Chain A
Amino acid sequence: MRSLSELWKISGIFYQNMAFQAFIDARRSGRSAATMEALTNRIKTNTVLNKIFLSMLFIIMAMYTAMQPSVLTYAAYLLLLTFLFALFFLQMVTYFFQIDFTSLRIYPVSREEEQKIALLTFIRIFDIPLAANLLVFPVVVLFSAPWYSAFLAIIAVLVSEILAIVLVTYLGKVFYTKLSTPASGLKGAVRFLYQLIWGLAFFMIYAFMMWLRVIYAKINHFAPLLQRYSLLFQCIYPTNMAYLIINPTPVSVASSLLMVLLTILGIKWILKNISSIKITGEMHTGQISIKISTPMRGMLRKDFRIITRSPALTMLLLFPPIQGLLMQSLGNSSYFALVMLFTFIIIFSYSLLGSEARSITRTLPVTRGFIYLSKAILGFIDYIIALTVLTLYTIFFGTGISQSLILLSLPTTFAVIIIVLRVGDLLNITKNIAMSSYGVALLMILGDVLFAVPLALYSQQYGVFVCAAAMAAEIIIALHIIKMQ
């Protein structure tokens, strides 16, 4: 029987392998000059740095919470923790499900050890951030509460983290079994998410802090609601746990206990799932049915399938409506909200183009213009989805985005996406920088400017004419691009 530290070391090999896969998928695979050793070292430091960066985000969040301890902020903290934890690790967990631990069987390793190694590899995905949260939040709680509250805080954080892990395990498995391995066609998209999260790290921290500040500033709006339905909120997560820490009531204690029990079941479920990973070699002898359609429909159908089967792209699809809602609910101007939303439309459309980079499409009889057009259609559909969500918000809450601005933005949105895609493609072909965070930022800025300027011109003197002229120019350029061979 091997010792735990020995097994931990072996699991490290699998983990490194997984990180390597993620890294390679996230980058343009070309023959780079870096030696294997240099690359491996870089990946090692990269994965550790990523975890530290993530832990920092969580620590900042805990600090914010400490500044105004209340049931609401604690609940917000726990909910955000669950959400962010799940968001950040979904990708890695999907990779985890692709590891074939049965490869260990050629060595003298027992089945029991094999399962332990799988478990340890799984733990390695979360290790540093998981521990950081468990340490930091209780300490933060101690500033304003007696010692046993810190203990309760540990339980609350643990429950939230396990909840997040159950969530990603479930999603990871779904993504793995229901097709989708982050593979060739998707590398562009995966690369993008990677760049977004780590390449634009400073931007992310900044955005994140802004976001937190506003959320914590607005959160007291919910205080009357909490008062009115206090009993209900003592029953449900995450407020029950927040009550437990700040002001334990019999109901919140009972429902928290129930959560702990559920968490234990959750852990059992996770263990069962990660130890039973096998490549299922099931055979389906099915009737074949093939529907040939027009080139554009075929292209859109393919892209739709890729989007729904890839965690990264699904997320990118969801960003624009979420971003729009967020901006709107935080009381930003309609103009600002729309531009911020559009930034994510650009990223989404451009990732779709990226997924085409080394694909078979280039050997098929379609023009470049056709490819831009297909991606722009999907970007535009996403834009319409986001606008619909915003409009629904406006209908429900009475205030919200200006409908006239929405209408005004419609004529050029499509054209701007096309222009940005073309520029991105050019950058990529000639300089190979479009995929760097620098290139992405450049495209985001370009798109925002092309999108925002005509809208801004509208409110100036003779605005209608200037705005119309600017939009017409953009549309003409876009039409030109669509006709490209």
Chain B
Amino acid sequence: MLSISNLTVKYGTVVAVDGISFTVKKGEIFGILGPNGAGKSSTLKSIMGLVEHSGNITLNGKKIGVPEKNLIGYVPEEFMLIDVLTPMEYFEFVASLRRMKNEERLARLIYAFELEKHATKPISALSMGTKQKVQIIAALMHDPPLLIMDEPLNGLDAKSSRILKELLKVHTEKGGAVLFSTHIMEIAEKLCDKIAVINKGKIVAEGTVEELRTQAQVSGDLEDIFLKLTGEDEYIQGVVNALSK
């Protein structure tokens, strides 16, 4: 469904993403896993055309232009909301620009995430978690085939993150695809069909959890694999040694 090849993102002289390639298939939850500053957000932003980049990005074989944006639901990492609007006014705006025809699904999402309680407050007065819910609903409302979520579980309470996870599963069962980023192993391990481990702008490993395990030649959980792959296991051992003295 989504295919990325040789993507490079530069901020001045800083190379944030360094020629990475991967594909996200129908019915797949694809996780980008990496430490802070690895280039996850930059990758996702490139897909949405939010940052300058080079390389090829296609959705169903087409470059991502205006019509393709309606096939994507995007949850940015930093809030991209309109603070003076109430959540409902915000949804109204997004739904109108997406030319949505009926609000039934939207209403169901609002109740699912219990947002009707905050109907009349400006977004600026909402808590972090509630703001994140607003972003998630805005991305899900038009039931797009591809979901792109940048650290979507940030700030969500247990109940809401459970709802989101279930929604993502339903979404892929119906043939949709999900691309999301996280720096938390457990989430990637639990949710993803496929994981790309990314470090310093490069993909250092890619595959299912099992495949990653063989690549890293360690047994154990994803955290060990991850640290081994990013070459940070030795660094951490050093820090621990120093601190325990």
Residues of A bordering B, CB below 8 Å: 179-181, 183-186, 279, 283-295, 297-299, 301-302, 305-306, 309-310, 358-367, 485
A306: nearest residue on chain B (CB-CB)? Answer: B84
A199 to B34 alpha-carbon distance, docked (Å): 42
User: Assuming A284-B120, A290-B107, what are 19 further A-B pairs, CB within 8 angstroms?
Assistant: A179-B84, A179-B122, A180-B84, A181-B83, A184-B79, A283-B117, A288-B116, A289-B88, A290-B103, A299-B93, A310-B84, A358-B80, A359-B82, A360-B80, A364-B98, A365-B67, A365-B68, A365-B97, A367-B66
* Majority DSSP secondary structure for residues of A touching B: loop
Cα-based distance from A183 to B117 in the complex (angstroms): 22
Encoded as 1 (CB less than 8 Å from any A CB) or 0, chain B from 104 to 130 comes to 001100100000111111101100000
Within 8 A of A (CB), among B34-72: 48-50, 65-70, 72
| Cross-chain pairs A/B with CB under 8 angstroms, 14 sampled | A180-B122, A181-B84, A181-B122, A183-B84, A285-B116, A285-B117, A288-B110, A306-B85, A310-B84, A360-B94, A360-B138, A363-B49, A365-B66, A485-B65
- Most chain A CB within 10 A, of B65, B88, B118, B125, is at B125
The answer, among A186, A284, A365, for a CB contact under 8 Å with B69, is A365
In this complex, what residue of B is CB-closest to A362? B50
Whether B84 and A365, one on each chain, are in contact in the complex, defined by CB atoms closer than 8 angstroms, is no
Question: Shortest distance in angstroms between A440's beta carbon and chain B's nearest beta carbon?
Answer: 23
Residue of B nearest to A429 (CB): B52
Residues of A within 8 A of B236 (CB): none
**Is B81 in contact with chain A by the CB < 8 A criterion?**
yes
A294 surroundings in chain B (CB, below 8 A): 96, 99
> Do B82 and A298 touch (CB < 8 A)?
no
Report A-chain residues with C-beta under 8 Å of the C-beta of B118. 284
Q: How far is the CA of A295 from the CA of B67 in the complex (A)?
A: 13
Q: Which one, A186, A279, A362, contacts B49 given CB within 8 A?
A: A362
The chain B residue with its CB closest to the CB of A355 is B82
Kindly report which residue of chain B lies nearest to residue A369, judged by CB atoms.
Answer: B66
Cα–Cα distance between A56 and B145 once the two chains are bound (Å): 60
Q: How many A-B residue pairs have CB under 8 A?
A: 131
Question: A363 near B116 (CB under 8 angstroms)?
Answer: no
Q: Which residue of A lies closest to B50 (CB)?
A: A362
Given A284-B119, A290-B107, A367-B66, A279 and B125 touching (CB < 8 A)? yes
Chain A residue nearest to B74 (CB atoms) is: A363
* A287 to B50 alpha-carbon distance, docked (Å): 35
- Are A299 and B97 closer than 8 Å at their CB atoms? yes
Residues of B within 8 A of A297 (CB): 96
Bound complex: CA A484 to CA B174 (Å):
35
Taking CB atoms, residues of chain B closer than 8 Å to A290 are: 88, 91-92, 95, 103, 106-107
Are B82 and A360 in contact (CB-based, < 8 A)?
yes
Per CB-CB distance, the 4 closest pairs between chain A and chain B, nearest first, are A298-B96, A183-B83, A179-B122, A365-B70
Give A304 Cβ to nearest chain B Cβ, in Å: 11
With both chains docked as a complex, state the minimum distance between the C-beta of A318 and any C-beta of chain B, in angstroms.
18
Structural contact, B92 and A291, CB atoms closer than 8 A: yes
**Chain A contacts of B65 at CB under 8 A?**
485
CA distance A186 to B93 in the complex (A): 16
- B96 contacts A293, CB within 8 Å? yes
Query: Min CB distance, A219 to chain B, in Å?
Result: 40
CB B144 to nearest CB in A, in angstroms, measures 10
Distance in angstroms from A286 CB to nearest chain B CB is 5
In the bound assembly, the distance between CA atoms of A153 and B209 in angstroms comes to: 80
Distance (whole angstroms) from the CB of B129 to the closest CB of chain A: 15
How far, in Å, is B218 (CB) from chain A's closest CB? 36
Q: Which residues of A contact B138 (CB under 8 A)?
A: 360
- Chain B residues with CB under 8 Å of A181's CB are 83-84, 122, 124
B193 within 8 A of A: no
Distance of A394 Cα from B184 Cα, bound (Å): 68
Question: Whole-angstrom distance between the alpha carbons of A217 and B69 in the complex?
Answer: 59
Residues B124 and A183 in contact, CB atoms below 8 Å apart? yes
> From A185, which residue of chain B is reached at the shortest CB distance?
B82
Return chain A residues, CB-CB under 8 Å to B94.
360, 364
CA distance A299 to B76 in the complex (A): 21
List residues of chain A with CB within 8 A of the CB of B89: 302, 305
Interface assignment of B132: CB less than 8 Å from any CB of chain A: no
CB neighbours (8 Å) of B199 from chain A are none
A288-B82 CB under 8 A given contacts A361-B97, A362-B49, A365-B66:
no
Q: How far is the CA of A403 from the CA of B50 in the complex (A)?
A: 46
